Amino acid sequence: MSDAETPADGDEPRSMHDSAALGKGDPVMQVEGLKKSFGGLTATDDVSLEVERGTITGLIGPNGAGKSTLFNLVSGFYEPDAGSVTLRPERWDEDAEEWIVEEHDVSGTPPHERVDSGMVRTFQTPRKPEGMTVREAMLVGPQNQVGESIFALFTNPEQVRMEESEALARADEMLDRFGIAHLAGEPATELSGGQMKLVELARAMMAEPDLLLLDEPVAGVNPTLANELREFIHSLNEDGVTFLVIEHDMSFIMRLADPIIVLDQGSVLGEGSPEAVRTDERVIDAYLGGAL
């Protein structure tokens, strides 16, 4: 995994950019000119932004600003009217024996192919896999399992068993890391909303993403658990995972993310450090209503 880099604060201008900061050194995702309208309503209008590798980038904006639409466009759940999405996952090059950055233009590809390119998303309302235990749900995360092919189940059962053991070990490890190892055998439907948020994050990690999109990770979560989640996200970030986080809880996102991108009425209002965003007149006008 890459070094945990945080953008050098000295280079950041004190005030907020007028648009998303483009031309970053090592973006893990580049979004260019994304447009989507539903009937007469323009949900995202020409959104361009970049997510720098190693950051926790926040995405805020008032209701209806187009945050969730943007997530759905970027993750392939919606088809954009125009624009492109490029992912730049890091891959281990066996020959060169070093990490190299690949460039995948994923515009127009279905969601599952974008996961191949290192991007995994979570949902605003946690999805509970009915009829599965937490451990089983975790085991859906790993990518390209041999055992997902019916033929391999009969031609190569030993490989399947080995991968399954490995995945189980990683699932246990991950659940343990998130402090929910005791829930492994519980039916996924029995969990509380907060526990489910943890499981969802842990499960997304099973897919070993370069970039993890979190849609309101602490919505409906009590403050203690929210703090815990913030710690987990920070620690995963230190392991090299880049995050793009939508969140309405201002104090949470201000303490978690840097930089923060502000969306308003379908377009990017600006980008900047939490302080810059917090004090920016336009953001306050558009969104915070003077609350901060």
Partner 1 sequence: MSDDDPKRAADSGDDAPTRPAGSGEDEPQTGAKSGGGARSGGDAADADGSPIAAAREADSLRGAAGALVGGLTTAERNVASALGAFIALLLLFTAAGVINPTYLLYLLSLAGMYLLLSMGLNVQWGYTGLINFSVAAFFGLGAYGAALVTSSDAPITIAASPLLGLVAGLSLAGILAVLIGIPTLSLRADYLAIASLGLAEVVRLIINNEGQWTGGAVGLSGIPRFYENWPVLGDLARGTPTAAANLALVSVFVVATYLFLRRIHRSPWGRVQRTIRADEDLAKALGKDTFRFKMESFVVGSLVMALAGVFFAHLQLYLAPTSLLPTQTFYVWIAVILGGTGSDRGAMFGGFVIIAIREGTRFVGGSLPIDAGPLRLFLIGLIIILVIRYRPEGLLPPQRELVWPGASSSQADGGDGQ
Q: What are the residues binding partner 1 (CB under 8 A)?
A: 1, 75, 77, 110-112, 115-116, 120-123, 127-133, 135-137, 139-141, 143, 145-150, 153-154, 158, 160-166, 168-173, 176-177, 179, 181-182, 185, 203-204, 207-208, 224, 227-228, 231, 235, 238-239
Return the number of the residue (41 or 162) whose C-beta is nearest partner 1: 162
Alpha-carbon distance of 209 to 220, in angstroms, equals 25
CB 210 within 8 A of CB 241: yes
Edge-first strand listing for the sheet containing 41-52: 41-52, 27-38, 82-87, 104-105
CB 236 within 8 A of CB 2: no
Q: Which residue has the tokens 């939508």?
A: 246
Minimum distance from CB of 265 to partner 1 (Å)?
27
Quickly list DSSP for 79-127.
Answer: --SEEEEEE--EEEETTTTEEEE--EE-TT--HHHHHHTTEEE--SSPP
Return the number of the residue (212 or 277) whose C-beta is nearest partner 1: 212
Return the number of the residue (33 or 179) whose C-beta is nearest partner 1: 179
Minimum distance from CB of 120 to partner 1 (Å)?
7
Minimum distance from CB of 76 to partner 1 (Å)?
8
Alpha-carbon distance of 76 to 79, in angstroms, equals 7
CB 202 within 8 A of CB 180: yes
Minimum distance from CB of 270 to partner 1 (Å)?
29
Minimum distance from CB of 72 to partner 1 (Å)?
10
